């Protein structure tokens, strides 16, 4: 398994082993550790992070994504230019679904 920074995988690994799983492996340091160690030559896309950056690229640089206040979906630059994206209210994913 793999996760952003490796912490959730550490916790999940223990639970899985305690439940009887035998072959439990994880990516040490998570995706961000992978980027630091080997770069992003074999990676496609960005990595969601759980802070104000929203996502980073393989060079660990912040990308242009925002996060919808209403539904918490990551919003691309293109989606941020949509009339359905109103900061603090809605985005193309949740427009009309969330009051």
> In CATH, what number is assigned to the domain containing residue 25?
3.40.250.10
pLDDT at 22 (0 to 100): 93
Residue 84 domain flag: no
Respond yes or no: is residue 47 known to be catalytic: no
Tokens of 12: 């999940």
Q: Is residue 89 part of a domain?
A: no
pTM of the model: 0.76
Is residue 71 assigned to a domain? Answer: no
Considering the domain boundaries, does residue 81 fall inside one?
Answer: no
Nearest one of 62, 70, 59 to 92, comparing CA atoms: 70
Q: Per the structure block, which two tokens stand in for 98?
A: 């969330």
- Residue 96 within any structural domain of the chain: no
Residue 39: domain span? 7-63
Q: Domain total for the chain? A: 1
Instruction: Determine, yes or no, domain membership for 80.
Output: no
The catalytic position among 3, 47, 71, 91 is 3
Residue 78 placed within a domain: no
Please write the tens of the pLDDT for every residue from 54-65.
999 999 999 999
The number of angstroms, rounded, from the C-alpha of 36 to the middle of its chain's C-alpha atoms is 16
What tens digit of pLDDT does each residue of 11-47 get? 999 999 999 999 999 988 999 999 999 999 989 999 9
What is residue 97's predicted lDDT score, i.e. its pLDDT?
Answer: 83
Q: What is the distance of C-alpha 18 from the center of its chain?
A: 27
Q: Is residue 98 part of a domain?
A: no
């Amino acid at each position: 398994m793999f996760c952003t920074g490796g912490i959730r995988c550490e916790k999940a690994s223990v639970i899985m082993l305690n439940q009887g799983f035998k072959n439990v492996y994880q990516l040490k340091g998570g995706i961000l550790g992978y980027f630091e160690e080997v770069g992003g030559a074999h990676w496609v896309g960005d990595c969601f992070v759980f802070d104000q950056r929203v996502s980073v690229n393989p060079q660990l640089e912040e990308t242009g994504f925002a996060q919808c206040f209403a539904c918490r979906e990551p919003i691309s630059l293109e989606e941020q230019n949509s009339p359905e994206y109103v900061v603090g209210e809605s985005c193309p994913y949740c427009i009309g679904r969330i009051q």
